[in-house]
Amino acid sequence: MRFKFTTTALAIIVLISCTEEKIPERFYPRNDHEAYWHSLKQANLLNTALGKDWLDAADKPFDQQIKVKLPYQESFVLSELQPDAIGYRFDVKRGQRILIDIDLISQDTTRVFVDLFRVENDSLKEFIQVASADSTLQLGFEPRRDADYLLRLQPELLRGGQFSITIEKVPTLAFPVAGKDKRAIHSVFGDPRDGGRREHHGVDIFARRHTPILAPTKAEVRFVGVRGLGGKVVWLYDRKRGTNLYFAHLQEQFVKRYQTVNPGDTIGTVGNTGNARYTPPHLHFGIYKNGPIDPYAFIVPDYDRPPPFIPDTLWVGKTLRLAQNTIRKTQMDKNAANLDTLRTGLLYTIQAVNHRYARISDEVGNFGFVEKNELANFE
């Protein structure tokens, strides 16, 4: 009986010890910012005043968004004296690729977390994180639909410095007709056909007969032949994006089914076969994924790419006072500023400088834009 009691008691002790032992769940950070947040938590810093300020700074870009039109370039400063963060908001279309390049101007080892969010719902402040930059501070991302995006930059605790940034959006595909650009497009997606009975599901790119048609990306040839209204056609499958690329009215076809083509490979030449036999030679180019997609943004840039940015280090980061007897209205970006009037005698911090404007903030954090030549009125 004593043996049974001892065995039972031992079993109960083991059971109790097993139920009380809690193995902490392993933390899997989704990005560097979250990993750093977890390291602060592990070090019991998040409950300190400084840690709470860093968390508040991480939320600041969602409330104080700087709305910019791409391409956008500026040199800016993030303070090392108190936690800070900055957020740029811009729109991007499906078919475009976001390119972000950040350089550290000051010679420091500041670590900056660069995170990209899609704006889901403005009124509910819903933002979905879609990408993060690595230690190179460069980021590329291809949206799958038209949307606004918010880029957040935040350094480590008590670290900062001067930076420059370039934000661009470029087409994801190369132009498919050799030597041509958007000026050769004379019919776009949605144009009426057959007296309005159907819509045009692509763009028509006009060029001389026999002009080379080029693969706009790496893809697999899925079909080569003669088919219906398109006449001589080629279908490519873009595995990276899950889209089918359609080339119609070709004069010649130079590829075979299941062949892999690379960007710039000639897949055929411009003609006017099919229902285009009574029109000048042109390429009908279409994109399909669960139905037709407007290909224009995929192949046509919104603007000429900007030159390399030369950072302005003369003004950025300085705190200046507006000269007495000088009151000027700010020249503000129509979407980005809430600092309406400059008041004499107040201190203003020059947070950033781009080609034309300086972004300044007052002592309570309101910010706005003034033209760079207005900085002469500060002392």
Give the CATH number, domain containing residue 225.
2.70.70.10
In a domain, 358, yes or no: yes
**How big is the chain, counted in residues?**
379
Angle at CA of residue 55, ends 52 and 57, nearest 5°: 110
Q: How far apart are CA 273 and CA 280, in angstroms?
A: 10
Beta bridge partners of 52: none
In a domain, 265, yes or no: yes
* pLDDT score of 224 more than 90: yes
**15 to 4, 18, 65, 141: CA distances (angstroms):** 16, 5, 55, 52
- pLDDT tens for each residue of 34-80: 888 888 988 898 889 999 999 999 999 999 888 899 999 999 998 88
Q: How far apart are CA 121 and CA 339, in angstroms?
A: 25
Looking at the structure, tell me whether residues 369 and 255 fall in a common domain: no
Looking at the structure, tell me whether residues 194 and 223 fall in a common domain: yes
**111 to 133, 198, 366: CA distances (angstroms):** 11, 55, 26
In a domain, 11, yes or no: no
Residue 338: which pLDDT band, with cuts at 50, 70 and 90? low
- Pinpoint the alpha helices (H) of 193-302: 296-299
- Dig out the tokens for 22 from the structure: 């809690």
Question: How much is the mean pLDDT over the chain?
Answer: 86
- pLDDT tens for each residue of 265-279: 999 999 999 999 999
Beta bridge partners of 352: 76, 359
Looking at the structure, tell me whether residues 39 and 163 fall in a common domain: yes
In a domain, 97, yes or no: yes
* pLDDT score of 302 more than 70: yes
**CATH number of the domain within which 339 lies:** 2.30.30
Judge if the upstream peptide bond of residue 71 is cis by omega within 30 degrees of 0: yes
* pLDDT score of 15 more than 80: no
Looking at the structure, tell me whether residues 201 and 325 fall in a common domain: no
Place of tokens 């279409």: 286
The identity of residue 88, as a single letter, is Y
- Dig out the tokens for 115 from the structure: 């995170």
Looking at the structure, tell me whether residues 37 and 166 fall in a common domain: yes
Q: How far apart are CA 51 and CA 121, in angstroms?
A: 28
**367 to 39, 69, 331, 340, 360: CA distances (angstroms):** 32, 18, 12, 9, 5
Give the pLDDT mean for 309-319.
86
- pLDDT tens for each residue of 112-143: 999 999 999 988 889 999 999 988 899 999 99
Looking at the structure, tell me whether residues 149 and 252 fall in a common domain: no
* pLDDT score of 163 more than 70: yes
Looking at the structure, tell me whether residues 162 and 188 fall in a common domain: no
In a domain, 341, yes or no: yes
In a domain, 307, yes or no: no
Residue 89: the pLDDT is: 95
Of residues 306, 337, 328, the one with CA closest to residue 375 = 328
End-of-domain residue from the set 115, 149, 171: 171
Looking at the structure, tell me whether residues 218 and 260 fall in a common domain: yes
* pLDDT score of 1 more than 60: no
The identity of residue 69, as a single letter, is K
Residue 22: the pLDDT is: 54
End-of-domain residue from the set 278, 294, 310: 294
In a domain, 114, yes or no: yes
Q: In this structure, are residues 269 and 259 in contact, taking their beta carbons and an 8 Å threshold?
A: no
The domain tally of the chain equals 3
Looking at the structure, tell me whether residues 235 and 287 fall in a common domain: yes
Q: What is the pTM of this model?
A: 0.85
Q: How far apart are CA 86 and CA 80, in angstroms?
A: 13
In a domain, 39, yes or no: yes
End-of-domain residue from the set 171, 201, 223: 171
Residue 27: the pLDDT is: 62
Residue 20: the pLDDT is: 53
Residue 158: the pLDDT is: 87
Domain ranges, residue 90: 32-171
